Amino acid sequence: MIRKFIWGIVLGLSFLALQSCTGEIKVKSHSTQESVTDNRPVKVEKVSLAQKKSFLCYPGTVSASQKATLFFRVSGPVVSIHVKAGDSVKSGQTLMEMDERDFKKRTLYLEHQIKAAQARLLSMKTSREEDIRILEKNIQASRTRMEKAKLDYRRYSQLFQEKATPIDVYEQARSAYQVYDAEVAAMEEQLNKAKKGAREEDLMAAQAELDALCVQHEIALDQLKDTKLVAPFDGIITERFLEKHEMATAGHPVLSMMCLSTVEITISIPEKDMALFSAERKTGYKVRICPLGDSLNEAYLYEWKASADPTTRTYSLVFRVDQDKSMNILPGMTAEVSGFAVSQHVDNIAVPLSSIISTQGQSGKLWVMDMGKKMASLRNVTLGNFYDDGRILILQGLSDQEWIVTSGAKFIREGQILNILESQIKG
């Protein structure tokens, strides 16, 4: 009896367990049916061959945007020096001074010479009445002497013909008459000249002499100004070549300076990369100054050479960076210029990482969408390297222009009707 009772209990428990399993299977089957018919929203994307952008970076060296070696245009002893290496200067600031005494004297001498030449020219252009009156009186006196000499000459000529006077007295009377006659003629010509003024060629010569003196005076003023050496632009003094009281020679360097408000970075680009370079693009470049850390500075293309270096076969490009007070970029520092985007077509498809639902080694699975049936099918693909912007390359298993599920891929099943978000369709 006890054995029959025990077997009855076992059979009853088994029956209850079987009923429980059957109910669970029905529930799961009902749940699966609901999942298949559910219009789950998903995002999709049309795939295409990838276009990869490579960002190239080139090393370079910093230099000043402006450099100058300063010298005097005249020679002389230096009497004042106002700067030393490392000093900041402004455009027009006096840096050195030379002894200017000789140049001042030269300027003053030429000013007096100009005044004398102006007076001579004025006297040639105008006649003074008192001078004319003096000339007229002198002519009158000379005519009186000439008339007396003429009478004496006639008388002695008559006596000489009669052999009543010696020949030497006759010759003396004739010479006196000729001298006074020539004197009167010269004075009359001088009087006519005084009344008419100087000849045109004489006036031109006098004017040319005055003009030449004026030019010499301007040169002297420039030389006087050149005794002071001034800064041609804002910058920093980098070197001084002589000291106070030393003799400065015209054209010989005395100071050097540079401008660091804007610096230049010169790089060399290989000819294979230069073929992809666009000279029309002036901005959008970044410069990292290596000794100053990883911070990037905005740079712009200033100039470039259209011919390659015959030895290195590289092209030289110069970029400029505008410094502010917080920056301390100095010549000679090493730098890196970036921002050279080079587009390259890749013979593979790149898909978002969110579309891959599982991976094993280089194999992966994703959902390929049938846009007509609004259903997705699971497909095995071969994975490649990671790509830009959170994507991965697909080497095999997917064709160009197919549609894939990019969002919600892990929650869908085979044969499920999907609700595509139209605003998210790409391609």
In a domain, residue 13? The reply is: no
Question: Domain range holding 317?
Answer: 260-345
Of 235, 280, 267, 286, nearest to 85 (Cα)? Answer: 235
Tell whether 151 and 116 lie within a shared domain. yes
In a domain, residue 227? The reply is: no
Of 184, 237, 210, 192, nearest to 67 (Cα)? Answer: 237
Tell whether 353 and 389 lie within a shared domain. yes
Identify the pLDDT of residue 163: 83
Asked which of 220, 239, 270 is the last residue of a domain, the reply is 220
In a domain, residue 275? The reply is: yes
Give strand pairing partners of 71.
253
User: Is residue 377 a contact partner of residue 370, using CB atoms and an 8 Å limit?
Assistant: yes
Identify the pLDDT of residue 410: 83
User: Is residue 298 a contact partner of residue 286, using CB atoms and an 8 Å limit?
Assistant: yes
Quick one: pLDDT band at residue 341, thresholds 50, 70, 90? low
Q: The sheet that has 228-230: what strands, in order across it?
A: 228-230, 94-98, 76-81, 247-248
Quick one: pLDDT band at residue 59, thresholds 50, 70, 90? very high
Contacts of 71 (CB under 8 A, 6+ apart): 229, 248, 250, 251, 252, 253, 254
CATH of the domain at 273: 2.40.30.170
Tell whether 331 and 365 lie within a shared domain. no
Burial annotation 80-100 (CB, 10 A radius, 16+ → b, else e) = ebebeeeeebeeeeebbbbeb
- Alpha helices (H) in 162-284, listed in sequence order: 167-196, 200-225, 271-274
- Tell me the chain's radius of gyration from C-alpha atoms: 55
When divided into structural domains, the chain yields a total of 3
User: Is residue 394 a contact partner of residue 349, using CB atoms and an 8 Å limit?
Assistant: yes
Asked which of 313, 345, 377 is the last residue of a domain, the reply is 345
Identify the pLDDT of residue 389: 67
Average pLDDT over residues 201-215: 92
In a domain, residue 243? The reply is: no
Identify the pLDDT of residue 281: 86
Contacts of 56 (CB under 8 A, 6+ apart): 273, 338, 340, 342
Type of residue found at 137: K
Of 313, 309, 267, nearest to 287 (Cα)? Answer: 267
In a domain, residue 76? The reply is: no
CATH of the domain at 418: 2.40.420.20
Asked which of 345, 380, 402 is the last residue of a domain, the reply is 345
Identify the pLDDT of residue 22: 40
Q: What is the DSSP letter of 258?
A: E
Least-confidence region, from 24-38, 109-123, 145-159, 222-236: 24-38
Identify the pLDDT of residue 51: 64
Average pLDDT over residues 226-246: 95
Tell whether 318 and 288 lie within a shared domain. yes
In a domain, residue 354? The reply is: yes
Least-confidence region, from 16-20, 138-142, 343-347: 16-20
In a domain, residue 48? The reply is: yes
Give strand pairing partners of 64.
263
Query: How does pLDDT run across 157-207, given as a tens digit for each residue?
Result: 888 888 888 888 888 988 988 998 999 899 888 888 777 766 788 889 999
Asked whether residue 11 carries a pLDDT value surpassing 50, the answer given is: no
pTM of the predicted structure, to 2 decimals: 0.54
User: Is residue 76 a contact partner of residue 349, using CB atoms and an 8 Å limit?
Assistant: no
Q: Which two tokens stand for residue 94?
A: 């006096």
Distances (CA, A) of 208 to 118, 213, 214, 251: 11, 9, 10, 32
